Chains A and B, each alone.
Chain A
């Protein structure tokens, strides 16, 4: 890594009616926030497929932010609740995978809350910066290498037969 401070990359999925509009408002109001975020517009936070989030992490995102309408305000009545449920389930899975909790965030931001977009983005960038790079693509490389090595060793053990396999283990220990 370079000497420069680590700059996290954050992918955001914002619903068109509330949070995307709030981000527009932040712009119109010339609020300033960290440039680490890339916003993808969806019609509703209910459209956020957990695969989008996993894909973003897998492709090198250090954090993922989801923005939807406040409870009770969803343009589509209840899409944000569906999003919330998936969010909780996915969070559990992420922690099993060793992905820190703060890397995924869900925020309710109404169309009027441009200042909240600014605050949340800045906060998140700061938190994720403190966590350091997630670098799943890099880890995939390592994991692939480990798997290859393991494969090789199993092969080796297989070729050598049971007794020798024990010996290999001993020598490694």
Chain B
């Protein structure tokens, strides 16, 4: 093919994209194309409405044929967005796909500047740099590596459960790793789900059982991902399996050991019930836990604390499943793709918003605590009662606690309005109490959500528009004596109210988990400013991350409700399957190599490579790079004193020509 091997004279085509008006409104694209046409070796320069469209791409192919082009420059959006697209177009036109370079005149130019002349000049500079650079481009071959078909799913909440099941159903092996003793996540704590009020346990527990029984799923609870190495298609993960002191294979979940425990009554806060009830050191997190295996909490177990327990649990277990000597284990697995569904934490109002009296005033609860109170398997058997056992006559539900507030979290947590409505309904139904919702705005954007809000209005729940200022037990008038008083500016009424109630529910928002930053580092992905994991593109790649082969599902990416979480988990599963079904993956050919003739054997590069890809060949007294190990960072290239290391796609000549041309227009 003409020019396909890059021989002969340079014949360059330059294409300037309008991107509708995105670029054209700030950059004089006609002028840019005109100037480009006059640049050295440029044979054709055109501007076009949408270069990424089919006609745009075909235009390149046609010009390659008609004008015997052998290098292509497209000035459009960011290469991170469309480099792949245009390399494809160049390849289809019969050229090596790497005889191409992209100038970013949208994200780095049109969108960030306000002066048309300046933006136009900048576009010309960037194109001149690209034109000179592309002349140095070489024909490159993409390396392909095979993809390991197994998938690691991190987090066993509804997101991880759903993704794991989808992938396993497609016939692929899934490792599902959950930090807690049981899968189920936050959803397992809920009583009902909005807006349909179907029972959370009824829809979740069957899926949890499926996970346990699925032949393609390896479930590791009470385990964490300790480290991940490798790259798309070829990850190696280390899983730390913490000791629960019960042999999972042997335990049948008869729960006799709990009964037998030396502690006759529960004595320690039960995490699953948000500390509203007590459990023993020998326990199972909740009745439907998966796996149905007990665990020993070494922090409270008498044996671990004193070594002086009679161990009635051991004597009662005829399967001999109890193992006080169990140690932490590390499992090493190889997977091709990873789905992260590590979830969220609820905002803790204790120190950050003490004005609402949480942990100061007895009957101030968080919404998650009330979820447990209304749950029939909860600490009160589904009775909504105050700490003294009495029934509340009036309940105030305070929206946006730790949401939409510059002092705490600025974002809307998306689920609080709806779960507040659900709790209002349930509390009203169970107690016949007067229920007051204090809201900033009611947000009910979802199928059946607005209808649910209307239903609550008709059920006689009160809605007061205003962000609550504080909750106090200071009685200003005798009627307030002994009650909690909610102080709020009623922004519809235009005055300040004091509303006495017996129970306050704080609708706390969703935020990134405290260790999200560690998790992010483990997987080498990014967080957005507020700390949720960053998707590759907010619209078009919402479950992908910047790291190929790692996908996001659920609230670790941003707050969302159960339907959205399940949808996203399905999407993440589909992405993972699409990747591994390809069987192999093409790698960017940006690896480095050493020109043996030039190498002086100084060994400067050896210690720089984080992947140990460089070795020293003693007999030749030269360094050599193992291409399969090289990830293409270029650190060794920059350090080589003899200039004998070359990085494909980022050769010195290519960079120097960019530097020269962005500065040449004096």
Contact = CB atoms under 8 A, between A and B. Distances in A.
B277 to A, nearest CB: 40
B360 interface: no
Interface string B546-560: 110000000000000
A72 B521 contact: yes
B546 A111 contact: yes
B634 A47 contact: yes
Interface in A9-40: 9, 11, 16-18, 20-21, 23-24, 26-28, 30-33, 35, 38-40
B526 A110 contact: yes
Contacts of A51: 652
Given A23-B107, A40-B659, A43-B590, A82 B608 contact: yes
Given A33-B112, A39-B104, A59-B659, A78 B650 contact: no
A112 B521 CA distance: 14
B647 A47 contact: yes
A113 B498 CA distance: 43
Given A60-B666, A82-B608, A52 B112 contact: no
A31 B113 CA distance: 8
Interface string A41-77: 1111011111110011001110000000000110111
B195 interface: no
A148 interface: no
A59 B659 CA distance: 8
A27 B106 CA distance: 7
Contact of A59 (B107, B125, B663): B663
A50 B652 CA distance: 12
Contact of B80 (A16, A56, A59, A86): A16
A46 B635 contact: yes
Contacts of B119: 35
Contacts of A77: 610-611
Interface in B627-643: 631-635, 637-639
Nearest to A38: B662
Contacts of A27: 78, 106-108, 111-112
Interface string A107-140: 0001111000010000000000000000000000
Interface string A67-95: 00000110111110010001000000000
Interface stretch (B387-395, B489-497, B527-535): B527-535
Given A27-B106, A75-B524, 16 more contacts: A11-B662, A21-B80, A24-B107, A26-B107, A32-B113, A38-B129, A39-B108, A40-B655, A40-B659, A40-B662, A47-B637, A47-B638, A51-B652, A76-B635, A78-B610, A112-B526
Interface of A: 9, 11, 16-18, 20-21, 23-24, 26-28, 30-33, 35, 38-44, 46-52, 55-56, 59-61, 72-73, 75-79, 82, 86, 110-113, 118
